[in-house]
Amino acid sequence: MIVIPARNEAPRIGGVVAGLRALYPDVPIVVVENGSADRTAHEAALAGARVLHSARGYARALRTGFIHALRSGAPWIVQMDGDGQHPPASVAPLREALATADLVVGSRFVAEPGYAVPTDRRVAIHALGRWASVCAGQPLRDVTSGYRAWRPDALAMMVADYPEDVADANVLVRAVKRGLVVREMAVPMAERSGGVSMHTPASGFRFALRMAVLTGWEAVREQQSVRIAPGSFDGSGA
């Protein structure tokens, strides 16, 4: 199943869904919308997607889509953006890479990304990637990529307490800490083809700082939950 969070993407979402349907006619596509001031939901449905409505925000929209996918018994789940940045052709290789991973991240930084990622973003993503790598204990590069493929059993381990607010690098660190095999693979990406990004330069800076704190917290939190996990006490009182 393909899960696409979308807000105010009416001019783009139809093309994204149509592109996916042309390549994968049998794969259900779910667009999760909230708070759009335009006809995003209408265009998505017209192009053949099932439209779900969620609580506010990107992370909550994803969670709504994930729960739907798991309840539907989807054999794999790919999350991607609805603004045309993620090429539909990469769904197949991402899904195939699940043969050797629980979570596969489509990465702009394993090979050339295919477009000039603005310098401020590139610097922020690289810095966040380094920090997330330290927190996770394994190399992670494109930690803000929203193009990801999940095995359902792995997603089931994450969805119950999936972050409600922001979900990027923190999710990757949590996944690694929970023992999931997280891999990155090169995916060409495009520039947003219009509309408004959820990140302005100012909000992007605040987001990066916040994400850095949350990502560090994941490392500490998961460490603690391992320490106090049931069964880890031997009852001897020693």
Ligand X SMILES: Nc1nc2c(ncn2[C@@H]2O[C@H](COP(=O)(O)OP(=O)(O)OP(=O)(O)O)[C@@H](O)[C@H]2O)c(=O)[nH]1
Binding site for ligand X (CB under 6 A): 5-7, 9, 32-34, 54, 56-58, 61, 81-83, 85, 146, 192, 197-199
Mark residues 59-98: x for contact with Mg ion by CB under 5 A, - for none: ----------------------x-x-x-------------
Binds 6, which of ligand X, Mg ion, none (CB < 5 to 8 A, cut-off by type)?
Answer: ligand X
Q: Looking at this protein, which amino acid is placed at residue 238?
A: A
Binds 131, which of ligand X, Mg ion, none (CB < 5 to 8 A, cut-off by type)?
Answer: none
* Chain residues 144-203 in contact with Mg ion, contact rule CB under 5 A: 192
Q: DSSP labels for 138-153?
A: S----TT---EEE-HH
Least distance between ligand X and beta carbon 82 (Å): 3
Using N-to-C axis directions, what is the helix angle for 152-159 and 58-71, rounded to 10°?
130
Q: Compute the Cα dihedral for 186, 129, 155, 44 and give only its sign.
A: negative
Measured CA to CA, the distance from residue 238 to residue 133 in angstroms comes to 35
- Please identify, using beta-carbon distances, which residue of 146 and 152 lies nearer to ligand X: 146
Least distance between ligand X and beta carbon 19 (Å): 14
- Please identify, using beta-carbon distances, which residue of 133 and 144 lies nearer to Mg ion: 144
Beta strands in 24-75, from DSSP E residues, in sequence order: 29-33, 50-53
Structure tokens at 97: 């890479």
